[in-house]
Structure 1
């Protein structure tokens, strides 16, 4: 694209991202600045919570034409939202204990300067991401360091084929654009898709295999 064409495309992407932020109920779009250069979106400003910061990035990634999101949003202070590290740790342990997705006492929690560190071992990746979703909604959390690992998985000779079959079944994915390789229990995805939604959906399909312990998502996003 020429410089003029690129600038016009970036302007359209900026408008679409701004509209998507306004459409996201978890985000106060008035607090979020949006700039775009060559498809790279930068979000700036102050938001009320870690959840809002994450959801703003997710909203931007849903937009066609976005290749990368740089999340420079910071979390503003406020007496109604601030908690001590001890209070945050107690709240995190409470929501984890009440989660139907997790066995009891498999996740350990530490909190330092509003940063929650999660450790432990779970069976499935969805359990690992479920914990993070629960924690990011808590007041006072500014960042999550998710160090939870997965239990060892036995490898299988048909892992790549079964994941490819899952991609074919997915109505929103062009399975022909994605290659799947498996070495032991580690899966690598390559290829090119047009949106981050497709890239993330492909990773979820790979994580659904009972023989997957790691997913290396090397799929390129090219609108």
Structure 2
């Protein structure tokens, strides 16, 4: 896909996506790397813009430099209120141990720290910030502390087996490497859906601390 076509396709994505409430997004494309600048009216829109750009064929990397600027009509909670909202959400989620998760908010920037016992639980915690008005960014210092270390070769085998059970990932050229519980996915996938599916499988595998998704989308001819 030509560079101009990538930009136009991303623009179409932004117009289509009801989560993105701003036309003030600038798109630059160079050798498959997309740079997003400008403003969006909420943090969830910033995340959605990155997801949409990443889903376009030919995009290898997205640099998300969008600024979150809430409209004057929006009542923005104070930092202490945002902190309380997030702590309440975490404490009400029976999948999480709220006593090991800490929240700090500085001028709308949320910082999570502490410990969870699964990689996907870390993502759940971060996802709660998307639901709160006033959030301008999220930084995670959460550690994944697993009870008992699972051998890397066993983690790899379980991910490979899960790939084979998944109809979306049939005949995809995705490579798996595991180092101290950190999974790196590389190679190619024929669709963005397959790339996301591979990430989800690795993410939900027991013993995984982190997942790095370096898979490139390359449609089959």
TM-score (norm 2): 0.85
What's 1:45 paired with? 38
For the residues of structure 1 that align with 2:70 and 2:213, how far apart are their CA atoms? 35
SS where residue 97 of structure 1 aligns?
helix
Question: Is this contact kept in 1: 2:57–2:217, CA < 8 A?
Answer: no
2:32 matches 1:36:
no
Shift of residue 109, structure 1, vs aligned partner: 0.7
With over 3 angstroms needed to count, the CA separation of the structure-2 counterparts of 1:29 and 1:113, relative to structure 1, is closer
What's 1:3 paired with? none
- Count matched residues: 216
With over 3 angstroms needed to count, the CA separation of the structure-2 counterparts of 1:63 and 1:146, relative to structure 1, is same
Which region of structure 1 is more displaced relative to structure 2, 156-165 or 190-199?
Answer: 190-199
Shift of residue 220, structure 1, vs aligned partner: 4.2
For the residues of structure 1 that align with 2:206 and 2:18, how far apart are their CA atoms? 35
Which region of structure 1 is more displaced relative to structure 2, 35-44 or 46-55?
Answer: 35-44
Shift of residue 174, structure 1, vs aligned partner: 4.8
Q: Where in structure 2 are the equivalents of 1:71-86 lying within 5 Å?
A: 71-79=64-72, 80-86=74-80
SS where residue 209 of structure 1 aligns?
coil
Unaligned runs of 5+ in 2: none
For the residues of structure 2 that align with 1:218 and 1:145, how far apart are their CA atoms? 21
Question: Is this contact kept in 1: 2:6–2:59, CA < 8 A?
Answer: yes
Shift of residue 82, structure 1, vs aligned partner: 2.5
What's 1:161 paired with? 157
Unaligned runs of 5+ in 1: 1-5
For the residues of structure 2 that align with 1:16 and 1:176, how far apart are their CA atoms? 24
SS where residue 105 of structure 2 aligns?
strand
Q: Where in structure 2 are the equivalents of 1:53-202 lying within 5 Å?
A: 53-79=46-72, 80-152=74-146, 153-156=148-151, 157-174=153-170, 176-194=172-190, 196-202=192-198
Query: What is the RMSD of the two structures over their aligned residues, measured on CA atoms?
Result: 2.4
Shift of residue 30, structure 1, vs aligned partner: 2.1
